[in-house]
Amino acid sequence: MSVNRGKAFEAKFKKDFIASFPEGTIDRLVDSVSGYKAITNVSDFIGYSYPNMFYLECKSVQGNTFPFTNLSQYEKLCEKVGIKGTRAGVILWFIDHKCVCYVPVATITKMKEAGKKSVNIKHITSEDFKILIIPTEVQRVFPTGDYSVLMSLEDGD
């Protein structure tokens, strides 16, 4: 039976984000446990580092693919696309491949329009879709990431 490392990865991500942006800030939005399925947050985290606001959903996946059906926050993240200085996307950890990347929600929209149903590890190096690889170093289990590369994103990413 596989171990779910998602919550621990979120904690590690937050620590690495703070290290990457020492003058920035990041907040973990509380998971809704009210039992009302219709109540959802826009993302797991809202971060800020001048001049950018980040809406980031953290996901971890074993294997080669992350299905879009596992991104229940998609519609709410889409509402953030196009706002100047705002970045909305998914921090995706491919556990088996020791790879962390940032997938802009705009890229997910483009992938859906192209008939894709998931992000595959092969898409990371594809020139067809904008996906940013996060420089990481894996020590034991969890990757340590340098999220300062997120500052290279442009409006709409």
In which element (H, E) is residue 16 found? helix 6-20
Please check the confidence at residue 1 and state whether its pLDDT lies above 50.
Answer: no
Mean pLDDT of the chain: 91
Interval 115-136: pLDDT, tens: 999 999 999 988 899 999 999 9
Tell me the C-alpha distance between 17 and 13, whole Å: 6
- Angle, CA 24 vertex, CA 90 and CA 102 arms, to 5°: 15
Distances (CA, A) of 37 to 32, 73, 91, 98: 9, 12, 23, 32
Q: Which pLDDT tens digit goes with each residue over 63-105?
A: 999 999 999 999 999 999 999 999 999 999 999 999 999 999 9
pTM > 0.85: yes or no: yes
* pLDDT tens digits for range 19-52: 999 999 999 998 765 555 556 799 999 999 999 9
